Amino acid sequence: MNAIYDFSILTAWIHQWLSGLMEPTAVMITEMVIIGTILILFVAAMGLVLVLAERKVAAFFQLRLGPNRVGPWGILQTLADFLKLLTKELITTKSADKFLYNLAPFIVMITPFLALGVIPFAPGLQIMDLNIGVFFITAVSSMGVLGILIGGWASNNKYSLIGGMRSAAMVVSYELSVTLAIMTMVILTGTLSMSEIVNSQADGWWIIKGHIPALIAFIIYLIASTAETNRGPFDLAEAESELTAGFHTEYGGIKFAFFFLSEFVNMLIVSSIATVIFFGGWMPFHLPFEWATGFNHIMDFIPGIVWGFGKVTFIIFLMMWFRWTFPRLRIDQILNLEWKYLLPMNLINFLLMSLIALTGFYL
Amino acid sequence: MNSIIKYLKGISQGLNTLWSGMKVTGYYFFNARKEIITVQYPDNKDTLKIPERFRGRVIMVHDQNNEHACNGCTMCEMACPNGSIKVITDKVLDPNTGKSVRIIDQHVYYFSMCTLCNLCVQACPSDALAMDGSYENAVFNREELTFVLNLPGSKIRDNVKD
C-alpha cells in the first residue's frame, strides 16, 4: 500500500501540532470536538447525497428523470428539502407520550453515529480502532429498532404501533442472520478488529479467498442487512400503502428528518461493514497469486479512499436495485424467509466455513 | 429426502425469479437514457407532438370556404350522455326547389359538462364534428367554456345529404 494515501500521517501531524499548543487533556477534548463535528457534518452530507442518489436511481429504474429543477440536474433538491424540513413547525399530538415521542428520533440517530466510529473508510481514516469492532457494531446496530419501537408506541396511533411492532419482529429475527453471516467470515479473519480484518485482506478480498461459503455468507448478509435497515422489499415498517407512513406517521419537521436520515445512514453503515468484511475495506483489488504481483502493484496506485467509497457505493446501488425491483413481503413471509431459509442455510454455511478454515482449503 | 430436494429446489427457484426481476429493472436502469418516457412539458412546447387520437375538445370541421357539413339533424345532441350539446336549428326557403330546409343557427357546446367520450363524433352522420388536439383548456370563468361551434358567417356545404 502506498504510504502517500495514508490518513494517519495527517492525523498524527494535527495531534503533534495541538500537543505543542496545550495540555494533554485539552488536546484530547479538542480532538474529540473536532472529530464529533466532522462526524455530524459527514452524516448530514451523506444523508443529502444518499437521498438524492436514491431518488435519481429510482427515477432511472422507472424510466423517469427524477429531481431536475433545483440546481443543475437537481443536485440541490435534497438541500432545499432539508431547509424546508428545518423550518417546519414541530407538532406533538395531544395524546402522545411527550417524553418518549421526543426521545425516539434521537435514539434512532445515535445508532449510526456510534457505528460510524469504528468503520475504516480509508487507511488511517477510522475514528477508533476497537479490538472488538465487529462485536461493537453488531451490538450497537440493534439499538436502532428500539427507537423505531418507541416512536411507534409513543405516537399513540394504531398505524405507528403496527409499524413499530412489525419492525421489531423483523429486525430481531434478521439480526441473527446478519451476525451469523459476519461470524462466518470472522472464522477466516481470526480477529474482531475492523482494521485488522482489512489488513488480513492485503493479498486478496475474503469473498475471493473464501470462495463458495464466503459468497453464500455475502448473499445472506445482503438480504438480512436490507431487512435490518427497514428498506427494500422489507419496508413493511413503513408500508405506505397499508400504514400511511408506519412508525413515523405522527412525526414532522426535523424529527421526521432524523428517521429519514437514519435510514439512509444505516444503509451506508451496513454497506461499509459488508465492504470491510467481504471486499477488503479500502484494500485495492489484489489477487493472491504469484503471477499477479505486477497487477497488484498497479492497483496500489488508486488511493484507498477511492476503493473504500467505491465499494460502498456499489453495495448501496445493489440495495437500491433490490428496493426498486422486488415487491414488499408480508410479515409472515418475511419471518418464514428468516427462520426457514436464511437461518438453517447460515448455520450449515457456518459449519462449512469452519471445515474449510480447519483444512486450510482457502486461498 | 424428497422434502430436502423440494426445499433446495425452492431456494434455487426463488433466486432465479429474483434474478430475472433484477435483469428487467437493470436493463431499464442502464438504458434509461434512451428509454426515458418523461416529457418535460412546459419546456418542450415547441416540439410537443399531440397524438392524432387525442381528445382535446369537440370542434366543427370547416373547410377553406367557411363551410361545414352540419345540417342540424341533432343526432349529436341525442347521443350526448350529459347534455353538453344544444343544437339550435332554423328553417329557410330553398330558392331552387321552393321547399323549406333545416339549417343550424347555433351549435352550442358546453365544454364545462363534456366528458370527451367521443360519442357525438361517432353519432354524426355527415362527419361534421371532430376532436381537436388542444390542451391547456383551463379558463378563469365558467362562461368561457361555452362555445358556438359553427363559425360566424359559415354555411352548409352543398353536397350534404339530409
pLDDT in tens, B23-32: 988 888 888 7
B18, closest residue in chain A (CA to CA): A326
pLDDT (0 to 100) of residue B20:
92
Nearest CB among A63, A321, A325 relative to B35 is that of A63
Contact yes or no for A60 and B40 at CB 8 A: no
All 3 cell numbers of residue B18? Answer: 429474483
pTM: 0.80
Half-sphere exposure of A154 (CA within 13 A, CB side): 18
Contacts within 8 Å (CB) and 24+ apart, A236-244: A236/A163, A236/A166, A236/A167, A236/A170, A236/A328, A236/A329, A236/A330, A236/A331, A236/A334, A237/A148, A237/A163, A237/A164, A237/A166, A237/A167, A237/A170, A238/A163, A239/A163, A239/A166, A239/A328, A243/A159, A243/A160, A243/A162, A243/A163, A244/A159
Nearest CB among B11, B24, B29 relative to A60 is that of B29
Contact yes or no for B26 and A321 at CB 8 A: yes
Domain segments of chain B as ranges = 2-38, 57-156
Q: What is the DSSP letter of A110?
A: H
Q: State the complex-level ipTM.
A: 0.73
B57-156, what's its fold?
A: Alpha-Beta Plaits (3.30.70)
Residues 6+ apart with CB under 8 A from B107: B60, B70, B72, B85, B87, B88, B148, B149, B150
Q: Which of A11-15, A25-29, A156-160, A347-351 has the highest mean pLDDT?
A: A347-351
Q: What is the pLDDT of residues B12-53, one digit of tens each?
A: 998 899 899 889 888 888 887 777 778 888 888 888 888 888
Q: What is the pLDDT of residues A50-82, one digit of tens each?
A: 889 888 888 888 888 888 888 888 888 888 888
pLDDT mean over A31-50 = 88
pLDDT (0 to 100) of residue B13:
92
Which has more pLDDT, A306 or B140?
B140
Angle at A22 between CA A18 and CA A27, to 5 degrees: 55
Cβ atoms of residues B89 and B142 within 8 Å = no
